[in-house]
Amino acid sequence: MIGLVAIGFGINHLYQLAVARGVVVCDLAGTEQRQRTRQRIQKIVAAPVGVVSLLLIVGLAFTVNAIEFVCSAALPAIYTHVLALASAYYWP
């Protein structure tokens, strides 16, 4: 799923590059919009941490750890298994 999202972002970036005819364009918001965004961020940072915030933080931690587990444990195990299967074809 993460790979599909990454591919989607890549396709979007290539599309934007094609639309801009090879010129890299950085869209920046106006001063008024940047001020509103800055004020929203300050409100979020200044807000007290509630139960929902804590649950979201814990959920994010579990998600990141699940992805990290696949990268650090499952992929090497799959690679080792593929090597073991490949050696059966090359060594009688």
Give the Cα separation of 42 and 35 in Å (integer).
10
**What would the pLDDT profile of 35-80 be if each residue is shown by its tens digit?**
898 999 899 888 888 888 889 999 999 999 988 887 788 888 888 8
Q: Measuring CA to CA, how many Å separate 42 from each of 33, 57, 83?
A: 14, 19, 52
Q: How confident is the model at residue 33 (pLDDT cuts 50, 70, 90)?
A: confident
Domain ranges of the chain: 2-28+47-90
Measure the CA–CA gap between 38 and 33, rounded to whole angstroms: 9
At 82, which helix (H) or strand (E)?
Answer: helix 75-90
Q: What is the pTM of this model?
A: 0.40
- pLDDT, averaged across the chain: 85
CB 67 within 8 A of CB 2: yes
R_g of the chain computed on alpha carbons: 23
**DSSP one-letter code for 49:** P
